[in-house]
Each structure stands twice: as structure tokens, then as C-alpha cells.
Structure 1
Amino acid sequence: MELENVLLIGGSGFVGGWIASRLSERGVRVTIPTRHRENTKKLIMLPTVSMVEANVHDPRVLAQLMQGQDAVINLVGILHDSDSRLPYGKGFAAAHVDLPRKIVAAMLESGVDRLVHMSALKAALDAPSEYLCSKGEGETLVRAAMDKLNVTVFRPSVIFGPDDAFLNMFAKLIKLFPILPLGGGAARFQPVYVGDVARVFADCLTDQSTFGQTYDLCGPKVYTLRELVSYTGQLVGKSPRIIDLGTGGWAYLQAGLMWLLPNPPLSPDNLRSMEIDSISDGSHDYPGWQPTALEAVAPTYLSPTELPQFRLDRYRYRAGR
């Protein structure tokens, strides 16, 4: 299967930048729709990447973007929705359910038949959180099109790496507060390195054995949230006193207050997501999956003693350069 042009929806985000870079290195022309082109200067510098100002929620615009494309990657996802309701709010519906439906329709209309879709580990229609429930419905819609499109679905656990919104968030909080109340401290995660995620997204595009498949993407080790926060503290040279609030009333009070912030680090819906451990038994791993350990990467962007030249050397080593 020859592939020259890829439409990367949601490509201006953290994971999208890594995937765009991987595809650009391989000479693939990548089109990334964005509402604000001026906010994507790093991606504009990539040689085969084009940033196009567009509203991907408009079906007519989506159909136009599909023209001349060989494949579509959908990464769109949001962690918070101010319109909280059952089974999920308008924001989650628009990003996780309506958009995948529109993407499938536009692909069928335009004749593009290769779709790689990012879902979430433990996404399900009966999940306890709006996030996982809406992700589950979007995944169901995409999977229903597998008889008409060549679809691959990925379900990652929490993704870490330079500029992530996970470990970096805890690093900032730890530097500010010597005492850190923590809701859901016993929740378990299997963090996966963004470089590994980007690699398999790029690799699978032309691999016909991945058509019609759904894969979990997880790192090699399971951690509790408390362990992850404690490890982040070690890396930034701080030893905060962590007070585990559990998953009861105090945790939801904290999450509710944080939810009011402009860029909330935690919401009540996040706590509900953590009722289900974000881990995998390995039965749905990507072929040849050999994930990078958290300890091999996190010090390169969190430790204050990591010199820039050593950090670059580590990146080059992992990239095989």
C-alpha cells in the first residue's frame, strides 16, 4: 500500500506533533487542520507538514480536506467538559462522538478508505465517566465502519513525554506546594511513552495486518497515581507530603474546586475515570510492541540536573540517529 498524503485531525496537540514529525521524517505529506495557525509554529517548521485553518466540525469542510488524501488519523480528544450531564456533556459529544461520525461520513463520501483512530484505554459505553463513555461511543461508531473502511483503533493509557500535560502538571504543583492533597492516589496506570505511540501510528498506516484491529498501548510497568507523583517529586528535587484523599467526598470536593480553574488539573469526571484502572493484560498489544520505560525518559525532561546536551543525546539514541 503506497501512502503519500495523510490528514492528521487533532494534529496540533501533544501527540499530534510527534506523529507529524515521524511522518515528515518518512517524506509523507501531512495536512493538519487547526483553528489558529499562528499557534502552531513548531509544526509549521516541519518540511512536509501543512497547517490549514479549518473547522473540522463542519461536514463540508471535512469533505474538502479529504480531497487527495490517502489516509486519515483522528486524535481529537478533550479531558474536561464544563457541560456535565449523563451520559456525557455537549463538549464530549462534539469531540468524541459527533466528530468521528462526521469523519467516517466524509471518508465514505470522498473515497478515502484508511482511518487510524485514537480511543482511550477502558473506553466503554457503560464506563463510569463521561470521558470514557463518550470515547467508547466514538470507538463503537468507528468500529461499525470496518466493513467499509480500513480502520485501526488505538487505546492508550496515560501518555507521557516532553511537554506532556501529566507528569509536567504534577511537577508544577510539587514545586508550588510542600503539602499535596491527592484524590484517587490508589488508581493504577500504565503510562506509555509518546514516542512509542507516534511510531506505531506511523507504522500501521501501510500495514494491512492492522486493518480491522484494536490495540491497547501501555508501558511496561504499572504504577499507582501516588507512586507517579512521588517519583515526579524525586525528579524535580522535592519531597512533598502527599495526603491521599481516596475517592470519597474530600477528593470530589478538591476536584470540584480545581474544575473551576481556567485549565483544570483535575475534575470530578477525571476521578470517575480513575474508578477503572488504566492498565492492560497485554492480550491486545500491537505486534512487536516493546514499550519504553518511564524511568528512561522522564528524567530527561523533569530532572533539573539533566543538561540539555545529554537530553539531546538521549533523544537521538532513542530515534536511532
Structure 2
Amino acid sequence: MEYQAMVKPVIGILGGSGFVGSYLSNELIKNGYAVRIITRKRENARHLWLLPQSEIKVTKTFTKKGLSQVLDGCVAVVNLIGVLNEKWDNGKGFKAVHTDITENLLEACKRLDIPQLLQITALNANKSEASHYLKSKNAAEAILLASKVEKTTKANQNGKITSLPKVTIIRPSVIFGSRDSFTNRFHTLLKFSPPIFPLAMGHTRLQPIYVGDVVNTILKIIQNPQVRQDAYDIAGPEILTLKEIVEYIAKLAGCRTKILPLGGGLSAIQANIMQYCPGKPFSRDNLRSLKVESICTDENGLSQLDIIPTSMDSIVPGYLAKKSSRFAYYKFRDRT
């Protein structure tokens, strides 16, 4: 009697070597899937080389043809590709990454009859006409949502019936976790900060969400492709100002730095200066994005998927506080 190895369904992940993608790859494999990580350079995913049930596919260009070549055989695709800054402050860099790649990906999914496409964008991306980042995210959403009004099937040039993928858009608030570029960046900046830390748009409200909750959202939608909703707005359990978050990080870092929120004018000056600092820690477009509060205005999508949101206090001390030699003192002080 011959036995055949069970073929596991393959999930393609664009941006799979990044912060969220690394968590997602591990979780998908734990739940019986194989993953195909799409990247421009194999070295970008070297921390995932030894991950079982995974393969790295390299494509130099994210064109329709290039994506069709690397995604063939996938049962679902998750698009995590995103950048926080562009070289020039004109929107073209964001459009190329967020909007154009999404359009090419949709066409590739149609060509390959991939039944499911999940797009990760940003909470309240439709509420800014100024931020190039948010506008490009919203434009990508518009392309995907427009495809849903097409007929469910259409004939291609060869007369073959091509199914449109089931598209689901996931809009998270700012994401935190041990490898994030949010809490870790502020932790690093605070270590070298003077006694007063000037903070642009410090009164903007955010609803930070744990990366594990984002991954669970993606997993639940993949496991149930017949989800009724086209989009889910997801966020954490707490609404905090940026100032409150940075003060919390400072406490974990053992810093006595005073956080000073800046008004609109001073925030703009800070952005204009830091725009040209190495690594571009804060740009003019970051400032424009921060003018839009990243909070759920409707029902939190996590509750719709029966996911209990994870608080910052249950996760962040585990990876930030231990970096500070003074944390033991602050922990003791809080108990007195």
C-alpha cells in the first residue's frame, strides 16, 4: 500500500521577512500551513531560512508577471508590504510600494485563480488628504474594493473562467511587539535624550495593537474564507495619547526624562529638521500622518472575530524593561 505525504496549503506572504511577517509565518506553520515568503533579497529573510514548511522566493520586481511566477500554487496571499518613509516627499515612493504593488498583486491573483487575498493597510487611512502614506494606503484599498463590484467570474483571452479572489482588508492601529519600530525606536531615542524630550503631536490618540492579535486576525480569516465583512478595523484595548505611550516607555527604560508635547508649529519645525537626519527618525509625512488619530471609531474588529485584545502592559515590559539596568529599582519603587 502506497502512502502519499499530505500536501499542506501554501500561503504566500509579501513582506514576510519583516516584523509582522515573521510572526505570521511561524503561526501559520503551527496551524498546519506551508508559507512562501516573497522578498527582493534572500538575505532579508535569513532569520527564516531554517523555518520548517517554508520557502523563500525572490523577485526583483513586483510586477504582474513577477508576482505570478512566485505565487503560483498558493491558496491565499497576505500583503504586508509597507514603508513608513520615502526618499522624496512627493508621494511617488509610497504609491509605488503601497498602491502599484497592490494593483499588480490583484491581477496576479486573478491570473492564478488564487481564491483569497488579505491586504494589511492602516486604521483611518481614508481620513487624510495630506499624508502621502495614508493616501497611498487608501488608494490601495480603493483598488481592491473596486474589484468586488466586478462580476465574480469573467472569461480571459483563452476562454478560461477566472475567479476573482475573496478580498479582505485589515486596518490595524500602530502595532507593537518585541521587534517593532515603534516602542523600540522611542526606547532608543530616550536613552540619548536630554532631560526634556520634545514630542511632536503628543496629544494624538492611538490604540496600539499587539502583533500577536494582528496575526490571529489574519489566521482566523484565512481559516474561514467565507467571512462576511470586506474590512476589519482592529486595535488594542486602550486609547492612549502619544505622550502617555512615550512616558510609559521612558518609565520602563528607567529614564526621568520629561516629555514635552509640541504644538503644530514646533512639531513642523522638528519634522523639517529630523527629515534630514540619518535614518529619518521623523519626517514631514510622519507628522501629517500623526494628525489623524489611529483609533477605532466603529466596533473593534477583534471582538467580531472573538479575539481578546492584548494590553501593552502585559507585553511591552517583557522586552523593553529588561534592557534597562535600572528597571529593578523602578519596579521596587512602584510597590512602595
Alignment pair present for 1:165 and 2:167 = no
CA contact 1:150–1:211 (8 Å) conserved in 2: no
Alignment pair present for 1:111 and 2:131 = no
Distance 1:296 1:151 in 2: 33
Which moved further from structure 2: 148-157 or 259-268?
259-268
1:246 equivalent among 253, 263, 280: 263
- Alignment CA distance shift 1:259-1:238 (3 Å): same
Alignment pair present for 1:4 and 2:9 = yes
2:86 corresponds in structure 1 to: 81
1:233 equivalent among 240, 250, 258: 250
SS in 2 for 1:208: coil
Residue 127 (structure 1) shift: 3.3
Residue type at the aligned position of 1:276: V
Residue 126 (structure 1) shift: 4.8
CA contact 1:161–1:298 (8 Å) conserved in 2: yes
1:217 corresponds in structure 2 to: 234
CA contact 1:150–1:212 (8 Å) conserved in 2: no
SS in 1 for 2:293: coil
Distance 2:323 2:122 in 1: 34
Residue 245 (structure 1) shift: 1.4
Distance 1:234 1:132 in 2: 31
Identical aligned residues as a percent:
36
Residue type at the aligned position of 1:13: G
SS in 1 for 2:180: coil
Distance 1:3 1:121 in 2: 33
Q: Deviations over 1:126-176 (max 9, x none)?
A: 533111111000011112223532111100000000011001111011111
1:31-42 aligned within 5 A: 31-42=36-47
1:294 corresponds in structure 2 to: 312
Distance 1:173 1:306 in 2: 14
TM-score normalised to structure 1 length: 0.89
1:315 corresponds in structure 2 to: none
Distance 2:242 2:264 in 1: 12
CA contact 1:125–1:137 (8 Å) conserved in 2: no
CA contact 1:299–1:306 (8 Å) conserved in 2: no
Residue type at the aligned position of 1:237: G
Distance 1:8 1:211 in 2: 23
1:96-135 aligned within 5 A: 96-124=98-126, 126-135=128-137
- Alignment CA distance shift 1:144-1:226 (3 Å): same
Distance 1:43 1:65 in 2: 18
Q: Deviations over 1:45-92 (max 9, x none)?
A: 21111112212522211111121111110011111112222xxx2111
SS in 1 for 2:223: coil
Residue type at the aligned position of 2:227: T
SS in 2 for 1:106: helix
Say what the alpha-carbon RMSD is for the aligned residues: 1.9
Residue 206 (structure 1) shift: 2.5
CA contact 1:236–1:302 (8 Å) conserved in 2: yes
Distance 1:153 1:186 in 2: 28
The gaps in structure 2 that reach 5 residues or longer are 1-6, 153-163, 326-336
Q: How many residues are aligned here?
A: 302
CA contact 1:182–1:246 (8 Å) conserved in 2: no
2:328 corresponds in structure 1 to: none
Distance 2:228 2:50 in 1: 32
Alignment pair present for 1:46 and 2:51 = yes
Distance 1:34 1:204 in 2: 23
Residue 205 (structure 1) shift: 0.5
CA contact 1:300–1:306 (8 Å) conserved in 2: no
TM-score normalised to structure 2 length: 0.85
Q: Which runs of 4+ in 1 moved over 3 A?
A: none
Distance 2:278 2:38 in 1: 24
Residue 262 (structure 1) shift: 3.4
1:319 corresponds in structure 2 to: none
1:261 equivalent among 241, 260, 277: 277
Which moved further from structure 2: 54-63 or 184-193?
54-63
Distance 1:108 1:44 in 2: 29
Residue 100 (structure 1) shift: 0.5
Residue 203 (structure 1) shift: 1.8
SS in 2 for 1:112: coil
2:4 corresponds in structure 1 to: none
- Alignment CA distance shift 1:306-1:49 (3 Å): farther
Residue type at the aligned position of 2:83: I
Residue type at the aligned position of 1:50: E
CA contact 1:247–1:271 (8 Å) conserved in 2: no
Residue type at the aligned position of 1:80: N
1:206 corresponds in structure 2 to: 223
Give the greater-gyration-radius structure (CA). Answer: 2
2:92 corresponds in structure 1 to: 90
